[in-house]
């Protein structure tokens, strides 16, 4: 990755149609996620040739530019160059189709949940620290220090609806304080007690309207749906209130309308939707057992390629929040991530190209140590193709072993050596042995398979030219992609 982040940012914006064409930009661990006004101005081919860009995923007015571990530096330069407060005056209306609706729902989920992931990971890792101290006998369960540590770790989960409301208000362009206030109703101690009484059969109503007994702490979907509806309620109330009364009448009406709707309708429906999604995912797991983890381990790199891996984020977060662990998606990532690291090591070992060797070593370190696999995926596996095949095979085998071992994750940190502690189970000391054994097998197996299958090396003299050609053909999600010659 080039250290000239300003030049990289300038080139990216230029090939997205200029700063005036950028409506919004966010970033995750490795990607810049853009929303543009006019998608016809996006030059995907040119974007892929920029030094420092590993790949591009383009879907309608959304464009993901894969940077790698230095994405935060490029993001700062991008935000400095773009005027993101300017409203589009000529955005074309898109006809609603099932595909467009699905894309918008996915975009809402990703756009809302991605900013929350650091807090979720931070909290879960603190809880894991408490678990390790308990396993080591440093503290008893009733020790105040351990209780405080667990409370620190649980804060992000217990008040997850508040965090979702804040993040979703930005995504849906509605008032953040109002969204937080309404979400706060759902986690207010008095309301929690009322719902506990309703769950015991005590009749509960609001102005005669029955209220379904629901627990909203640790949930995602209800408040996400509520904030989306709030964005429309706010605009409607704004249109009917006189200017002279907007400073007090408008917020009062918004809260009085939105909060009861959330309690009576949207909250229970959101719970049903979230429960249905989780039930579907984990019914597959319960039905197929270890095979479900194996399949997920094989297809995970392909999901990351298309950005579809973020579909599982709300389910993982809510499952960990409610049960304390997740046993299908996260265990599958052990083999998927470290296999990409192992195949990158094999490329670094065998290649005669010094630039490719350097890229492969850095990508392998990122995937194996930190679980950040996209540098290995885009910089090596997709670029050379056969290492991706080796990683898929290894991911399937290691995912099967993770499923058979019954591994569970207590966090949603990307699985790697540094985060291996998230799979330790206080009630199953053998889980530690299984985790490290599967990690070691992932690296060794994918390394060996890559060498056995082989790959076409990039000649040293043609490195720069080949790098650009490979980037132009690296994304299988682009319709215009041509078969690579590497």
Q: Which residues are catalytic?
A: 28
Question: How far is it, in rounded angstroms, from Cα 389 to Cα 447?
Answer: 12
Find tokens 């208000």 and name the residue. 169
The H or E element that residue 391 is part of is helix 386-405
Per the CB < 8 A criterion, the answer to whether 418 and 371 are in contact is: yes
Question: How far is it, in rounded angstroms, from Cα 365 to Cα 387?
Answer: 16
Strand pairing report for 62-66 and 31-36: antiparallel
Find tokens 């206080």 and name the residue. 426
- Its sign, for the CA torsion 286, 288, 290, 291, is negative
Phi-psi region of 426 (alpha: psi -120 to 50; beta: other; left: phi over 0): alpha
Report the length, in residues, of the chain: 486
Across-strand partners of 240?
Answer: none
Share in percent of the chain as helix, strand, coil (round to 5): 70, 5, 25
Find tokens 């998608």 and name the residue. 39
Q: How far apart are the first and last CA of the chain?
A: 21
Q: What tokens does 141 get?
A: 């369960």
Per the CB < 8 A criterion, the answer to whether 409 and 317 are in contact is: no
Distance (Å) of CA 359 to CA 408, 409, 456, 473 = 32, 30, 16, 18
Across-strand partners of 27?
Answer: 32
Question: How far is it, in rounded angstroms, from Cα 183 to Cα 222?
Answer: 9
Question: How far is it, in rounded angstroms, from Cα 271 to Cα 226?
Answer: 11
Per the CB < 8 A criterion, the answer to whether 392 and 373 are in contact is: no
Question: How far is it, in rounded angstroms, from Cα 53 to Cα 74?
Answer: 10
Q: What does R_g of the chain's alpha carbons equal in angstroms?
A: 24
């Amino acid at each position: 990755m080039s250290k000239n982040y300003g030049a990289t940012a300038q080139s990216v914006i230029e090939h997205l149609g200029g700063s005036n064409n950028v409506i919004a930009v966010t970033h995750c661990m490795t990607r810049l996620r853009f929303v543009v006004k006019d998608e016809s101005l996006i030059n995907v081919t040119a974007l892929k040739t920029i030094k420092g860009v590993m790949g591009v995923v383009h879907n309608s007015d959304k464009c993901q530019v894969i940077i790698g571990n230095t994405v935060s530096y490029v993001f700062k330069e991008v935000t400095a160059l773009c005027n993101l407060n300017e409203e589009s005056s000529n955005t074309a209306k898109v006809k609603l189709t099932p595909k467009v609706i699905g894309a918008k729902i996915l975009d809402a989920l990703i756009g809302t949940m991605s900013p929350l992931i650091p807090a979720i990971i931070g909290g879960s890792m603190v809880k894991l620290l408490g678990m390790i101290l308990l396993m080591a006998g440093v503290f008893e369960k009733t020790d105040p220090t351990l209780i405080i540590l667990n409370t620190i770790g649980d804060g992000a989960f217990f008040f997850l609806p508040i965090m979702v409301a804040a993040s979703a208000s930005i995504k849906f362009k509605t008032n953040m304080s109002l969204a937080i206030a309404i979400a706060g109703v759902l986690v207010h101690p008095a309301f929690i007690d009322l719902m506990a009484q309703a769950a015991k059969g005590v009749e509960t109503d609001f102005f005669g309207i029955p209220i379904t007994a629901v627990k909203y702490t640790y949930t995602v979907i209800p408040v996400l749906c509520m904030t989306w509806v709030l964005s429309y309620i706010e605009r409607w109330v704004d249109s009917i209130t006189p200017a002279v009364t907007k400073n007090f009448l408008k917020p009062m009406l918004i809260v009085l309308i939105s909060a009861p709707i959330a309690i009576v309708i949207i909250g229970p429906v959101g719970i049903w939707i979230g429960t249905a999604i989780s039930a579907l995912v984990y019914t597959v797991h319960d039905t197929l057992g270890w095979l479900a983890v194996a399949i997920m381990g094989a297809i995970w790199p392909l999901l990351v390629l298309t950005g579809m891996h973020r579909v599982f984020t709300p389910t993982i977060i809510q499952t960990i929040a409610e049960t304390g662990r997740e046993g299908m998606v996260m265990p599958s990532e052990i083999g998927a991530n470290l296999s990409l690291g192992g195949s990158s090591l094999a490329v670094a070992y065998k290649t005669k190209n010094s630039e490719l060797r350097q890229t492969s070593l850095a990508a392998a370190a990122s995937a194996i140590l930190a679980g950040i696999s996209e540098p290995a995926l885009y910089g090596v596996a997709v670029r050379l193709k056969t290492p991706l095949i080796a990683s898929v095979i290894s991911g399937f085998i290691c995912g099967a072993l993770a499923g058979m071992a019954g591994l569970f994750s207590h966090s949603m940190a990307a699985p790697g050596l540094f985060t291996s502690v998230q799979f330790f189970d206080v009630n199953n000391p053998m889980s530690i042995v299984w985790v490290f054994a599967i990690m070691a097998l992932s690296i060794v197996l994918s390394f060996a398979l890559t060498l056995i299958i082989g790959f076409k090396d990039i000649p040293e003299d043609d490195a720069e030219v080949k790098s650009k050609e490979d980037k132009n053909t690296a994304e299988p999600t682009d319709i215009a992609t041509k078969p690579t010659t590497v």
